[in-house]
């Protein structure tokens, strides 16, 4: 029975790699449904949570509070610049943030501090389109 769950999870992982940028569980589930894999939404949620826990996927909260996932290109700790219009994602390092987070935690006597810092904005292409639409 464990076998069956493994292929479903692998299929979710593949779909996540094929997606460009961050996607929600619903979006991935819709893709998998179109391929008639028979994978349920609950399984997609579980698979994504598992991948995120292993560090094989990034997860973050969208500005509207939805959980989004992405297969990560970089290994280890990093940050993201995300276009809120098209989902384009750039993986970035942020040495200033690392220093600030460590110093702030230490100042308050915290150890094992972690942080999540992602920047949402409009990418160049979307900003240009927005300008054009505005006239």
Residues contributing to the site for Zn ion (CB under 5 A): 58, 72, 83, 85-86, 88, 91, 97-98, 123, 126
How far is Cα 37 from Cα 60, in angstroms, rounded to an integer? Answer: 26
26 vs 99, beta carbon nearer Zn ion: 99
- What percent of the chain is helix, strand and coil (3-state, nearest 5)? 50, 20, 35
Q: What is the nearest approach in angstroms of Zn ion to the Cβ of residue 6?
A: 24
97 vs 113, beta carbon nearer Zn ion: 97
5 vs 102, beta carbon nearer Zn ion: 102
DSSP 26-44: HHHHHHHHHTT----HHHH
Q: What is the nearest approach in angstroms of Zn ion to the Cβ of residue 70?
A: 6
24 vs 85, beta carbon nearer Zn ion: 85
Q: What is the nearest approach in angstroms of Zn ion to the Cβ of residue 59?
A: 10
Q: What is the nearest approach in angstroms of Zn ion to the Cβ of residue 42?
A: 25
Number of CB atoms found within 10 A of residue 15's CB:
22
Report yes or no: 61 and 22 within 8 Å, Cβ to Cβ: no
9: closest CA among 44, 60, 58? 44
């Amino acid at each position: 029975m464990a076998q069956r769950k493994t292929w479903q999870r692998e299929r979710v992982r593949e779909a996540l790699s094929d997606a460009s940028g961050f996607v929600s569980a619903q979006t991935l589930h819709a893709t998998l449904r179109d391929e008639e894999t028979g994978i349920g939404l609950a399984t997609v949620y579980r698979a994504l949570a598992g991948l995120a826990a292993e560090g094989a996927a990034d997860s973050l909260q969208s500005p509207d509070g939805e959980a989004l996932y992405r297969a990560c290109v970089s290994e280890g700790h990093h940050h993201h610049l995300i276009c809120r219009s098209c989902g384009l994602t750039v993986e970035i390092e942020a040495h200033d943030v690392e220093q600030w987070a460590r110093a702030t935690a230490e100042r308050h006597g915290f150890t094992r501090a972690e942080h999540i810092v992602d920047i949402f904005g409009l990418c160049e292409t979307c900003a240009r389109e927005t300008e054009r639409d505005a006239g």
